[in-house]
Amino acid sequence: MSRFRPFILTFAAATLACSQNITTVRVEPAPPSTESSAARPNPFSAPSTLPFLAPQFDRIANADYEPAIEEGMRQHLAQVQAITQQTTAPTFDNTILALERAGAMLTRVQRVFGALTQANTNDSLQRVRNIESPRLAAHNDAIQLNPVLFARIKSLYDRRNQLGLDAEQQRLVERDYRDFVRAGALLSEPAKVQLRALNQESSKLSTAFADKVLAATKANALVIEDRALLAGLSDNEIAAAADAAKMRGMPGKYVIPLQNTTQQPAQASLQNRAVRQRLYDASIHRADRGDSNDTRAIVQRLAQIRAERAALLGYPTHAAFALDNQMAKTPEAAIGLLSQLAPPATAKARAEAARMQALIDKQGGGFKLAPWDWQYYAEQVRQAEYDLDASKIKPYFELDRVLKDGVFFAANKMYGLTFKERKDLPVYHPDVRVFEVFDADGSHLALFYCDYFKRDNKAGGAWMSNFVGQSGLEGTKPVVYNVANFPKPAPGQPALLTFDDARTMFHEFGHALHGMFSNVKYPSLSGTSVPRDFVEMPSQFNEHWALEPTVFANYAKHYQTGEPMPQALVDRIKKAGTFNQGFATTEYLAAALLDLAWHTQLAGMPKQDVDTVEREALARFKVDVPEVPPRYRTTYFSHIWSGGYSAAYYAYMWSELIDHDAYYWFVENGGMTRANGQRFRDLVLSRGSSEDPAALFRAFRGRDPKIEPLLIERGLKDGTP
């Protein structure tokens, strides 16, 4: 993001808290300095002295964040004021370039603070977030609604073709002008007052939503007292559940923490149907119980605010506003892609359900397949049809081996990268690891942090971001991080993953590569600062290498013996690649279309009942398969209410359309070679947002993307690469 666009969305998404009825988890970001923060310089007041300007977690105390954010805003406003008070005519250097350089301290603190409030929050950080989030929203407005500043930008925009700018400079001018207009720069003063009020309220509500979802997710973890009720889980999984209970002060019991999604991994193994239902109910009702963690009122008002704000800015709906600067351009285009996939996906899901129902009947179950049964019987069907037993697969996916011999190995084959673990650099939690990344010529490329295990004070899901962004202007190299929520093993036990977990590591590292390979001049255009419906393309593309034969053979080895996975088992995993894709595609489509239903509401509409919106939307878009609930229900759909994906959850499928077609280019041109990797790096991964992403794809593929690879890879159409 640009210096004059602080991380308001990221900041809101990354700030999480526990409500009063939940025991707050106090996990410090790092052992804080014992020295009084008033008696020493703030660690964010100057760039870090560590390699790559990495965060000085050993010097940062909780008390440092609030004054650093306040001082960062003060400096930023002063720098912007200096631009607006110039008497000389606007030039690229004295206006656009000056804005790029402005706000350095604020960027430093927000990147670290945003990371920790999402991955390792505590009561002190939550307090600061609640104070500063609305102030940061007002700070953004003070800059982007400044008429003098906008007049200078507009002057340059109007004359951009006569200024002798290079292509990257011209794109930056155009992007800055567009972003200011989208922020309300063209509005009348009364309308700007109204917009500021909506932005303030929206910031507070998004923050509150994140608080409540984190608290609700922790509070609704399944607590089991009788070990016999956990039949079906492995000994390691039961030991981890016992350890989770001890950490919550419940020795002798067992705790299964909730993941962020509707369906929970343990449902695939739990033999007791009543326990499966309890786990499902805990998940799907986590934030609609009428208690202090209920998010329904927040959702209702946020939908109204977004519709009102869009109308102020001249758009019919929030979705129309949100997609105007994306690849899809319109909600109709996004809905069109999703609707095209709905018939084959739901048909396949119903066929999958029928197979499971037949199995239930054969076993004399005497009940109709329900959502909490799907994972359990899907696993049985998978074992029967493909002879795949998850408990026999996990021993071949030990986390460290997947990381070093899989993810890193693939990056070496494709791009020539090498990695060296750095234990001399401070981290914010003992689970975090740091690697220095070297380019093919041995030069220093980046730092990579990874934080893979679930904690109660960590947001759900998996993600990537930067502590330091690449910038030719500032001479900075990337410091990127990946975060996930894999179950943490009991002490002394190995961290064994599912294949889906292993693929998640490849996915998030694809984002990391996008950040590491950035090679642009201006920070606003670097790395992953691309449209939402393109940003998932590099990550989803990187997933393909998880099953590439030479890569898979290098990391899929038994954690005890080191023996490679038997070829018969490898073949069965590959054969089962499109298994359960009716379910997976339908649950995703249901969530994406639900997102668009909320965000195509018109301004002035009364608050909408959450259950009614969900029921009517799923029926309207024909994705209402009773056994397949949305991947996220409205009440805990953090992507769209406290993250940056409002009206944009469709982006994963749009990006998948592009990534599969890009992968098919590799298949057609010799596969995983260094030459092909370099071409992909040069034409796509290194370009950030310096060019239109559609043009980047065309330059790489030689044409616009086709849908057939997506349908084939999802098993919705017969065919081969």
Using CA atoms, how far apart are residues 535 and 10, in angstroms rounded to an integer? Answer: 15
Query: Residue 419 belongs to what H/E stretch?
Result: strand 418-421
Beta strands in 239-368 (DSSP E): 254-256
CA-CA-CA-CA torsion sign (82, 86, 90, 92): negative
CA-CA-CA-CA torsion sign (592, 597, 602, 608): negative
Pick from 552, 533, 590: which is nearest to 401 by CA? 552
Catalytic site positions: 508
In angstroms, the first-to-last Cα distance of the chain is 37
Using CA atoms, how far apart are residues 390 and 397, in angstroms rounded to an integer? Answer: 11
- Chain center to CA of 333: 23
What one-character DSSP code corresponds to residue 267? Answer: G
Question: How large is the greatest C-alpha to C-alpha distance in the chain, in angstroms?
Answer: 85
Decide if 260 contacts 461 (C-beta within 8 A). Answer: yes
Residue 652 vs residues 27, 396, 538: alpha-carbon distances, Å: 32, 29, 11
Residue 661 vs residues 35, 88, 696, 706: alpha-carbon distances, Å: 55, 50, 13, 7
**Axis crossing angle, helix 651-668 with helix 331-362, rounded to the nearest 10:** 80
Using CA atoms, how far apart are residues 352 and 685, in angstroms rounded to an integer? Answer: 38
- Chain center to CA of 179: 22
What DSSP string describes 388-412? Answer: --HHHHGGG-BHHHIIIIIIHHHHH
